[in-house]
Structure formats: C-alpha cells, structure tokens
Amino acid sequence: MVSALLPVLLLNFTVALQSEMERPDMRMPDELKGISIEEKPGALMPENLNFKNHKGEQVVLKDYLHDGRPLVLVLAYYSCPTLCTFVLNEMVDGLSGVAWNIGDKYRFLVVSIDPRDTPETADAKRANYLKKYGRDVYGNGWDFLMGDEASVRKLADAVGFHYRWDDKTQQYAHAAGGFLFTPEGVLSRTLYGLNFDAKNLRLGLLEASEGKLGSAWEKVLLFCFHYDPNARSYVLAASRVMRVGGVLTMTLLGFLLFRLWRKESQRPVHKTAERTS
C-alpha cells in the first residue's frame, strides 16, 4: 500500500516544491541547486553525439531521427534506486495505453546520465521494461544508451535537463520528466513530473509528429486541446472549441436555409396561374 502511494506522494511533493521555488521570497536550498528541468521549446537535439546502445554497438543520435517518427526521450541512470525507476514505470504505463506500439509510429529512447553504466546494465534494465510493457517493439524503436560524460552533458544541456552528482548520497540528483521530439529532432514538448498518462502522451505524440500520426478525428482532438504548463497536461481550449462550434452552427444553418430555398423553388406554379385566368 505504501509503495503504491509513494510515486503519488513524491509527485505532489515535487509540484508543491516547484511552486514554492517560484515565490520571489523563496531561496533555493543548496541541496537542490542545479536540479531542474528548463523549458526549451524548439531546441535541437545534438544529433551527432556518439553513444553505445544496450547491445554494445556504437550509435549516433541521428540514427534515431529523420525517419518520419517522433521520439520520446527520458534521461535516467540504470542503478538509480528511486526516482528514475518511478519515471520509467510511469512512462511505460502511459505508453502502454497509447494505441501505437513502440517502434511502429514513434521511438522511445532512454539515455543514461551515469558514464559508469555499461551495455550489461542497460540491457538488464531494458529487459525488465520490455516485460513490463508486454507488447511488441519494432526494430530499434526502444533503445537504452550510455555515453561519456561530455556527450551526456551536451544532450542534457540541449534539452534543459540539469542534474549533478551528490557525494553525500553517492547518487545523481535530478528532476523527473520526459521530452518529445519531432522526427527532425526539434524539441516539441517537455513533460514534467511523473504524470505521463496515455491521453497526454497520445496528444503529445500527435503534436510532435507534425500531422503525420493519428486519424482525422484525433487531429480534431489535438486542435481542441492545448498543453497547459501549469496544469502539466493537455486541457480543453475553450476558444478553439467555440470557434469550431461556431463554424459547425453556421454550416448547419446554411444547409437548412438551402434546403428551404430549394423546396420553395420546386413548388408547382400551375395553381397560381389557374386562379389568375
């Protein structure tokens, strides 16, 4: 029971702490300095950075781009005892509720911030989450990567993920979140916290796909919703819904007037002619 509530409590604490940190009279504790996720919409992924995947193969970030599929990115490390596990658990749970399989319409990339991670630790972590996901994964649609300190820092700085090593706890201190990229490597959306529900991920992927994913109805849904950073969720855009409703009302009214005009124009005129004679 306690373990089930822990992610929720942690999320509530993080949100409350973020609100407190935004107060002008609030000084950030030294322990939390350098730990945040900075909003960087439109940032470019440094696609020429070199990493190793969970198979021990050399890869370049651009290998995961330019194929028409958006990309989900999570920065974590594979020996993390707490927060990384919560982030990956919630992300996988959310993606499990998305209709498209990982690797089919989009990619999912996990990159370790710990240069001590190895292909063995990455492969073991990936195997656990493949089992948790329980669905087919296509090709190299879901890779776990690791790299040297310089490469990881360049990627983290590019997306606004700030973290640091804590000597006291012998762990990395970092925030919770995920990143959605367009197929061309442009940062489309930053998702904060641990609330990666299927609706937000689906709409985020639709947005990041630049119109390539989803049915006509899902694209209408995306038009009616927008991402609210304060709510950290996609919410109904009232002004857009009103515009759509207005267009539909005018279209329906025009159709009814056309039907009435057509019916009137088709009425026989011979009775009027007989009365005149």
In a domain, 62, yes or no: yes
- The residue with tokens 């993390």 is 80
Residues 135 and 51 placed together within one structural domain of the fold: yes
* 227 vs 248: CA distance, rounded Å: 24
Residue 226: strand, helix, or coil:
strand
| Domain hosting residue 250, numbered range | 238-276
Which is more confidently placed, 219 or 113? 113
User: Quick one: 260 and 201 in the same domain?
Assistant: no
Tell me whether residue 227 is in a domain.
no
- The whole-chain average pLDDT of the chain stands at 79
- Position 225 in a domain: no
> How many folded domains does the chain comprise?
2
* pLDDT range class, residue 7, cuts 50, 70, 90: very low
Q: Model confidence over 113-172: pLDDT tens digits?
A: 999 999 999 999 999 999 999 999 999 999 999 999 999 999 999 999 999 998 888 899
Residue 259 lies in a domain: yes
Beta strands in the chain (DSSP E): 36-37, 50-53, 58-60, 71-76, 107-112, 142-146, 161-162, 164-166, 171-173, 177-181, 187-192, 225-228, 233-236
Taking each continuous run of H as one helix and of E as one strand, the counts in the chain are: 8, 13
Whether residue 257 sits in one domain with residue 133: no
Mean predicted confidence (pLDDT) in 68-90: 94
Question: Higher confidence at residue 213 or residue 61?
Answer: 61
On whether both 196 and 255 belong to a single domain, the answer is no
Average of pLDDT values for 43-71? 96
User: How many angstroms separate the CA atoms of 202 and 227, rounded?
Assistant: 12
- Among residues 213, 230, 254, which one ends one of the domains? 213
Mean pLDDT in residue range 241-257 = 52
**Residue 255 and residue 133 share a domain:** no
Reduced to 3 states, what is the DSSP secondary structure of residue 67?
A: coil
Indicate which CATH number applies to the domain containing 168.
3.40.30.10
Same domain? For 49 and 184 the reply is yes
Domain for residue 185, yes or no? Answer: yes
**Within a domain: 72:** yes
User: Do 140 and 270 have their domain in common?
Assistant: no
